[in-house]
Amino acid sequence: MNQKISRLPDDVINQIAAGEVVENPASIVKELVENSLDAGAKRITVEIVHGGQQLIRVEDDGCGMGPEDAEGCLERHATSKIRSVDDLQELVTMGFRGEALAAIASVSHLELKTSDGTATRILTEGGQVKVIEPCARNQGTTIEVRSLFYNVPARKKFQKSAGANGAQVRRVVETIALAHPEVAFSLTVGGKKTFDVAMSSKRQRVEEILGEHEHAVEAASISGFIGAPSKATSTRSSQYLFINRRPIFSPLVAKAVKEGFGTRIAEHAYPQFVLFLEISPESVDVNVHPQKKEVRFKDEAAIFRSVQKAVEGAFGAAVDFSSPISFDSPPLSSFAESFSFPAFKTVETPELDLTFRDLPLAVIGNYLLLQREHLILVDLLAAHARILFESLKYEKGTAQALIWPLEVKINPGDEEIVEELGGLGIECRLLQRTLVIDALPPFLEAADFPLFFANWKEGKKIENVTARFSRAVRKVYPLHEAVILWRRLQKCRDLFYDPLGNPIWVEVKPEELGQMIGRGKAKGRLSLEGVYE
């Protein structure tokens, strides 16, 4: 009888494992950086080119490996971290399966340079060793991964754009850096250093990565930072949890934090937090998911209670949780929300500023009527187009963080858009099929973004897009908003024409008004009709 069952060759096993461990550049970076941490590194340098598909390099100054370990570490289930099942109970290192390096090597060209005093260089292609030789290197390890997924075309095809992969890698490096302030990290993307943090304290590190935080949570085994209620967002993107320093996603803990905020935040908002839970390894099972992102707690209720208490406590004893506490009062109007240049934010009632030399008279349809020396008639839609055009083109640093990040579903193939929008100063990122917008330039309101986006996909030339978009929005401006547009227009490089060259405003002189009602020169014309004959 023919033998039907056969053992799979190692390279096939490794590739299958690679499907689990190495989904994309970000997961590779995560494995390599965690190895560096396990090796006791004090400085970890990450570099990627073309989102990691061309190159991923992770360099550390950890303990390094001698020639034998260097060769061994690329084999599946090679690990220096556990020897037996018992060791799993007392795990203090990040990795323990001994399959990451083998899996990564199996789907790439991998170069390992490592030294524990004796330096070795190993080159593999698709997991096959091509070169082993002594080399020069200080103590530590460098791993370079090139031609990622070159032998797994299906996976290669489904990789995201370089921009999207780069963003994910950045998130991974930031997340790990948050939990390891005693280690210096840097990240270089496409030759540009995008992230560089020296050794620091926990608080400093959080501030470096998330900006300043209001409250520190302090409790026996729980510590961390929570954002002000007003900084709560509509996604989980600012929620970080580390359990014994591993980045973990736990709906339970997220919910407990939320409870701790009580009535301070809206029902559907996600508070910002960075929490570090230190708990005994026996009371938590981290081996649930191959990527070690999820956990099971032995006593879920206890964890929930302690987290909630810690967060509540952070707000201080003076707080009365029995009645709702409103957070930052809502903006005066939707206009103020995304158009909030500082001068406007402090204005309580939007009164007209009389020191301004133009006296606003009225808004009529899409037009603003002002009095200067003569009358001025402003086409507000054209003014808006000009202002938006200039802010997209010349003022890329001025995007304003949205109180609620905006989510837009996008179609497959639209991933490049993240980079294009980024180039306009619109801060966004991609989460699967959802484009999350974090910050928009002034004069592009969150509510109108979907319309802008649709126009952008069609046009892509910002002259056309802004002009078409402003017409499409057809906003009816109240007088004070119209005045703000007019004043902002005065700061534009070109305040006379919209991006397509149409005039934005005209001055109307008394004689011209006269002509309209048949005085002055107009007499002649009217006389043709015989009225003044």
What residue is closest to ligand ADP based on CB?
Answer: 95
Report the residue number, 31 or 144, with the smaller CB distance to ligand ADP.
Answer: 31
Binding mask 437-476 for Mg ion (x = CB under 5 A): ----------------------------------------
Q: Do 506 and 513 contact (CB within 8 A), yes or no?
A: no
Is the Cβ of residue 76 or residue 475 nearer to ligand ADP in the bound state?
76
Residue closer to ligand ADP by CB (options 29, 402) is 29
Residues forming beta bridges with residue 47, ordered by sequence position: 57, 188
291 near 21, Cβ under 8 Å?
Answer: yes
- Long-range contact list for 261-264, CB < 8 A, 24+ apart? 261/226, 261/229, 261/232, 261/311, 262/312, 262/321, 262/325, 263/321, 263/323, 263/324, 263/325, 264/229, 264/315, 264/325, 264/327
Taking the complex as a whole, the smallest distance from the CB of residue 36 to ligand ADP amounts, in Å, to 5
Q: For ligand ADP, which is the closer residue by CB, 39 or 248?
A: 39
Residue nearer to ligand ADP on the CB measure, 99 or 379? 99
- Of 62 and 499, the one with the shorter C-beta distance to ligand ADP is 62
Q: Is 27 in the site for Mg ion (CB under 5 A)?
A: no
Q: Minimum distance between the CB of residue 131 and Mg ion, rounded to whole angstroms? A: 23
39 binds, among Mg ion, ligand ADP, none (CB under 5 to 8 A by kind): ligand ADP
Give the nearest distance from C-beta 95 to Mg ion in angstroms: 2
Q: Does 418 bind Mg ion (CB under 5 A)?
A: no
- Tokens 């037009």 sit at which residue? 367
- Cα 532 to the chain's mean position, in Å? 71
- The angle formed by the CA atoms of residues 343, 348 and 349, to the nearest 5 degrees, is 110
- The alpha helices in 315-448, defined as continuous H runs, are 334-338, 342-345, 380-394, 417-423
Per CB under 5 A, 100 contacts Mg ion:
yes
Among 2-10, 97-105, 228-236, 480-488, which window interacts with Mg ion (CB under 5 A)?
97-105
Shortest Å distance, C-beta 250 to ligand ADP: 22
How far is the CA of 438 from the CAs of 265, 389, 403, 425, in angstroms?
Answer: 19, 20, 8, 11
The token duo for 456 is 């952008």
Q: Comparing C-alpha atoms, which of 70, 195, 196, 215 is closest to residue 142?
A: 70
Among 64, 95, 229, 405, binds Mg ion (CB under 5 A): 95
Give just the sign of the alpha carbon dihedral 226, 230, 236, 238: negative
Provide, rounded to whole angstroms, the least separation between the CB of residue 78 and ligand ADP: 5
Nearer of residues 106 and 168 to ligand ADP, judged by Cβ: 106
Residue 510 makes CB contacts below 8 A (sequence gap 6+) with 374
d(Cα 49, Cα 30) in Å, to the nearest integer? 16
Residues near ligand ADP, by CB under 6 A: 31, 35-36, 39, 60, 62-65, 73, 78-81, 95-102, 141
Kindly tell me which of 28 and 417 has the beta carbon lying closer to ligand ADP.
28
Q: Choose, by CB under 5 A, the member of 15, 24, 27, 35 that binds Mg ion.
A: 35
Write the CB contacts of 531 (distance below 8 Å, at least 6 apart in sequence).
518
> What residue ranges bind Mg ion (CB under 5 A)?
35, 95, 100
